[in-house]
Amino acid sequence: MIQQLSRFKSLEPQPQLSVVGAGPGDPELITVKAIKALEKAQAVLYDSLVDISLLDYCSPICEKIFVGKKAGESHSQNQINELIVKKAYELGHVVRLKGGDPFVFGRGQEEIDYARQFGLQTAYIPGISSSYAAAGAADIPLTIRGVNESFWVMTGTKSDGTLSNDLHLGLQSTATLVILMGMHRLGEISRICQEAGKGHISAAIVQQGTTSAQKLGVGLAGELENLAKNEDLSNPAVIIIGEVVRHSVGDIWEKVSHIINKNEQ
């Protein structure tokens, strides 16, 4: 009897959560480990920045649930947390598929902490972050020997809706600054760069980096808002501030600097 009960218990869904990085946009940049997790998933909760072709790795019986934002529809973090636990107890293995890397401004740890409160086994599978992949896809290395010694990745919007003070600190260094989720604050970012005496340093905006729809705009840190308007750049995009831009996109920078110099005359 005990053996029978043990066998039935082993057949019950084992609630578990895998928080998985989908990578920066190009579906070929997902990791092998992430693919294996998708293949074993009973349910996948995915965001708007995830290439939906990645869902083809899932089994036919896997439940696929969109939890991102589109056309006015959105899910709060609390709703997502509750849905993770609900589906894990109903079905077993839930994969939370997030764009980029879940531990780089992706709230991955919040979801893991919540799931653990309800007894779920948890795992984290890294993804390639757009913070460096988008720059690389635009031929902009974040570090160049003799130009800078570090790079900072920061959010353009804190939880209270304000811009991170790290921008002020970063501008005091030679570091390359990479700003995520900052497109709606370009005016403020440009103003801070100008006030810090860094409005003249090179900058770039990479829209939909690593994808076939990638667009690049290059200009000055103090003119980011105008750059986005002139080049018709919008979210999702990564902002890069630093002299690595000037050194890496030489041919583009020559054309840009010629236009800048002409406008300043």
Q: Give me 102's structure tokens.
A: 């879940």
Higher pLDDT, 91 or 13: 91
Domain end residue (candidates: 125, 148, 171): 125
Same domain, 209 and 177: yes
pLDDT of residue 67: 96
Q: Pairing mode, if any, of strands 121-125 and 16-21? A: parallel
CA distances in angstroms from 260 to 43, 140, 219, 231, listed in the order given: 52, 20, 8, 15
Positive or negative CA dihedral for 64, 159, 101, 205? positive
149: left (phi over 0), alpha (psi -120 to 50) or beta: alpha
What is the residue-wise DSSP string for 16-43? EEEEEE-BSS-GGGS-HHHHHHHHH-SE
pLDDT at 152 over 70: yes
Same domain, 134 and 256: yes
- CATH number of the domain within which 190 lies: 3.30.950.10
- Taking only the tens place, the pLDDT of each residue in 21-33 is 999 999 999 999 9
Same domain, 26 and 71: yes
Domain that holds residue 236: 130-264
Same domain, 118 and 167: no
Same domain, 141 and 97: no
In terms of average pLDDT, the best of 67-81, 125-139, 250-264 is 125-139
pLDDT of residue 256: 66
Domain end residue (candidates: 125, 152, 169): 125
Closest C-alpha among 185, 186, 187 to residue 158: 185
Q: How many CB atoms lie within 10 A of CB 240?
A: 27
pLDDT of residue 1: 40
Same domain, 91 and 161: no
Domain total of the chain: 2
**∠ CA 19-20-21 to the nearest 5 degrees?**
135
pLDDT at 4 over 50: no
Ranges of beta strands (E only) in 134-245 are: 151-155, 176-180, 202-207, 215-220, 237-241
Same domain, 104 and 150: no
- CATH number of the domain within which 8 lies: 3.40.1010.10
Residue 169 CA to residue 154 CA, distance in Å, equals 11
Residue 35 CA to residue 206 CA, distance in Å, equals 27
Domain end residue (candidates: 102, 125, 148): 125
pLDDT of residue 11: 59
Same domain, 85 and 199: no
Same domain, 258 and 135: yes
Count CA atoms within 13 Å of residue 136 on its CB side.
12
CA distances in angstroms from 257 to 41, 60, 200, 229, 262, listed in the order given: 51, 53, 11, 18, 8
Residue 252 banded pLDDT, cuts 50, 70, 90: low
